[in-house]
Amino acid sequence: MSHPLPIYPAAGIREIERAVPIGPDSPSLMERAGLACAELARTLATDPRPILVLAGPGNNGGDALVAARWLKQWFYRVEVVSRADEARLPPDAATALAAWRAVGGSCQPDLPEKRDWGLVIDGLFGIGLTRPLDAPYADWVQRVNALAVPILALDVPSGLDADTGCSHGVAIRAQHTVTFLALKPGLLTANGPDHCGQLHLRTLDVLAPMYHPASGWLLDEHLVRGLLPPRPLNSHKGLFGSVGILGGAAGMTGAALLAGRAALHVGAGRVYLGLLDDDAPAVDPLQPELMLRPAGHLLDAPHLNVLVAGPGLGRSAAAVGYLQHVLAADAPLVLDADALNLIAASDALKARIAQRKAPTLMTPHPAEAARLVGASIGDVLCQRVEIASLIAVRFNAFVALKGVGTVCAMPNATWFINASGNPGLASPGTGDVLAGILGALLAQGLSPRDALLLGVYLHGAAADRLRERGIGPVGMTASEVIGAARDLLNEWVYGLSR
């Protein structure tokens, strides 16, 4: 397992900037950032039209001015638009402006009308912006977004909150974003991916964790490969655990079946379904390996060592009773869907979760997360890392707050943001599939942390593999994700590919 890429909020980046020593003969961080931007811009400027550089009134604008200077020296035609007050510029940005002028550069005070550019560099505002853009910057952003021209954003697209990924009114919609020193949460979750386009990290020769410890990291394939070991040749199904799934109330049996099929395909040795629907089938004709029984008999299943509660559970009094029994079991537990809603509505169930000795994994979507902590959905959408971490600490649980850039939060206040997945997962049943995957990984002996990380990344990567095959995102189904997850897991563990 390789070292994950750290993620820092704006305050952490500021600490790193202050701590990095700059020798008398070494280029400043601004010089390094501007050069990195110019080098990337050179690969994106594929036609002879001029490059438009928007330079703001702070250090982000200074980075842009350094980039403009390099591009001009490389004989690109560059036009800079800036309304920065020279007397109020930070020292490094003032130096960058003077250097731009020294090579014959000038600044226009407003965006020219009806000009044709080959590339726009957005250097208006960086990680420090926490309010809506005002005039004239909001107008510039709207006009630039309307152009059929590629946009390269510096550090953070202007108007996007670097910590939360929420946009402050209007925000740049870039095709490329080059970010400096380390990744920021807002680039990876909420509205961030829609505004960033392709993300390029430039560390500027700075090893960020040397100067400030990280609490968050990127969840990518390098991190999860190797978490599930190959199976011994001398294997039997008992080695890979037994998963019990509680759910499947009337009209929602399919949710429990999806979770069960996912658990089976990701390697659980045995899978039992405890179904609340009195008229539920005795066998799954598409997956007869599953063992179906009434919900009240689930905990009587032999060898049961992992439980999943919630897929199609419903909110009846019977569901509450069965959930109470599951919460009291001394086994790792995955809580999803209506199990989370029932817990959110009961102080007694909340207390029981927090007091469990065995590991608990929780997989809320934003609405369920809002109910668990008494917040609004809007708060959850714009405070994803904070809310996921709050749930993890409050319930002593390992939490996946689902959505673009799923946030995986641990009880020790560390967190990861997932890099896999696509809009094809915004379809019925995919959450049930994730719950089954997590149950299967726990049953095979992974720690709760590793099961959460591998399961969340695998779930998203399976959707990405389907998209590569021309399946979705539109119309992608949860059943299709199950098969793709199995293929990927075998590829990672054994090097097998299909």
Judge whether 118 is annotated as a binding position.
no
Check whether residue 273 and residue 420 sit in a common domain: yes
Q: Specify whether 240 is located in the same domain as 99.
A: no
- Band of the pLDDT at 114, cuts 50, 70, 90? confident
Which residue segment(s) compose the domain that 179 sits in? 6-21+28-214
162, 240: one domain: no
Pair (164, 182) in one structural domain: yes
Residue 63 annotated as binding site: yes
Q: Considering the chain, what is the average pLDDT of its residues?
A: 96
What's the rounded mean pLDDT across residues 460-469? 98
The neighbouring-strand residues paired with 275 are 247, 294
Does 404 belong to an annotated binding site? Answer: yes
Alpha-carbon distance of 300 to 280, in angstroms, equals 19
313: Cβ–Cβ under 8 A, 6 or more apart, which residues? Answer: 246, 247, 248, 249, 252, 276, 319, 322, 323, 337, 338, 339, 342
Is residue 122 a known part of a binding site? Answer: yes
Q: What is the pLDDT of residues 288-344, one digit of tens each?
A: 999 999 999 999 998 899 999 999 999 999 999 999 999 999 999 999 999 999 999
Residue 424 is labelled as binding a ligand: no
Question: 258 and 114 in one domain?
Answer: no
As a whole-number percent, the residues of the chain with pLDDT over 70 amount to 99
Residue 405 marked as a ligand binder? yes
pLDDT per position as a tens digit, 130-145: 899 999 999 999 999 9
Same domain for 381 and 285: yes
Q: What pLDDT band is residue 1 in, cutting at 50, 70 and 90?
A: very low
pLDDT band at 498 (very low <50, low <70, confident <90, very high): low
Residues 321, 354 share a domain: yes
On whether 85 is known to bind a ligand per the annotation, the reply is no
Which domain-ending residue is among 175, 194, 214? Answer: 214
The pLDDT-based confidence of 497 (bands split at 50, 70, 90) is: low
39 and 159 together in one domain: yes
The verdict on whether residue 477 carries a ligand-binding annotation is no
414 is in an annotated binding site: no
Tell me: is residue 430 an annotated ligand-binding position: no
Task: Tell me: pLDDT of 24 over 90.
Answer: no
Please give the C-alpha separations between residue 289 and each of 151, 174, 307, 312, in angstroms, as whole numbers.
52, 48, 18, 20
* CATH code (residue 465): 3.40.1190.20
> Is 350 marked within a binding site?
no
Q: Is 406 annotated as a binding residue?
A: yes
Is 365 labeled as ligand-binding? yes
Q: Is 418 annotated as a binding residue?
A: no
Q: What is the CATH number of the domain that holds 104?
A: 3.40.50.10260
**Is the pLDDT reported for residue 253 higher than 60?**
yes
Per-residue pLDDT, 278: 93
pLDDT digits 0-9 by tens, 78-97: 999 999 888 899 999 999 99
Express each pLDDT in 63-83 by its tens digit: 999 999 999 999 999 999 999
Number of folded domains that form the chain: 2
Is 1 domain-assigned? Answer: no
Share of the chain above pLDDT 90, in %: 94
Q: Identify the CA nearest to 107 among candidates 46, 62, 148.
A: 62
Question: How far is CA 99 from each of CA 27, 94, 105, rounded to the nearest angstrom?
Answer: 14, 9, 9
> Is residue 487 a known part of a binding site?
no
- Same-domain status, 176 and 238: no
CB 261 within 8 A of CB 291: no
Check if the beta carbon of residue 176 is closer than 8 Å to that of residue 150: yes
Q: Is 129 annotated as a binding residue?
A: yes
